Amino acid sequence: MADRAEVWLVRHGETEWSVTGRHSGRRDLPLTARGENEARAVAAVLGGRPFGRVLCSPLQRARRTCDIAGYLDGAVIDPEVQEWDYGDCTGYTQEELSARFPDWNVWKGPLPNGESIEDVAARARRVAARIRNSAGPVALFAHGHFLRVFTTQWLGLAPAAGRHLALETSSLCILGEDAGFPAIRAWNVRNGEGASRVGS
């Protein structure tokens, strides 16, 4: 079996809704001023590191993060890596949704008129299959919940296991393998702490 690709996951910088805890989904929100600064910190961490492939969500918060980081010109804009479509739950906070649906959380729903967790996992598996044997490392500029589900599929876990993988804005994660097993090499790294010790 060919070695698995090394995948660098980059969550976009801060938006107004990430600050207030509103579920952004497919709402096309810009970065805040702080989010732009966070993207500059991502650029400093990556330092122009070469990638064999760069995939980026079409949503502007991911595209802007990718642009500031210096990779947009060579990126493939890929709708399969955009955020989970929360349907009618878009724009609401956890507390507001729990008032409508007792014990609600995104991992179990419901998400009326949105994607199921299985839908998101299927997208993630398709992306993983396309990049698994890429020559050189791959970068994904995308979104918190999608990247958490993507990681579960890379590792061969149930998609709802993503609930255990907290991911902050402008954070960097590295997936690869360890002793032949798919593995997390770094997780939720910000400001470069830890990233220099892993990866190719």
Q: What residues are annotated to the active site? A: 12, 83
Amino acid, res. 165: L
Residue 158, Cβ density class (10 Å: 0-12 exposed, 13-18 middle, ≥19 buried): exposed
Rounded CA gap, 133 and 177, in Å?
12
Nearest CA to 77 out of 105, 109, 61, 55 is that of 55
Around Cβ 180, how many Cβ atoms within 10 Å? 9
C-alpha torsion angle, residues 48, 19, 59, 173 (rounded to 10): 40
Rounded CA gap, 129 and 133, in Å?
8
Rounded CA gap, 102 and 16, in Å?
26
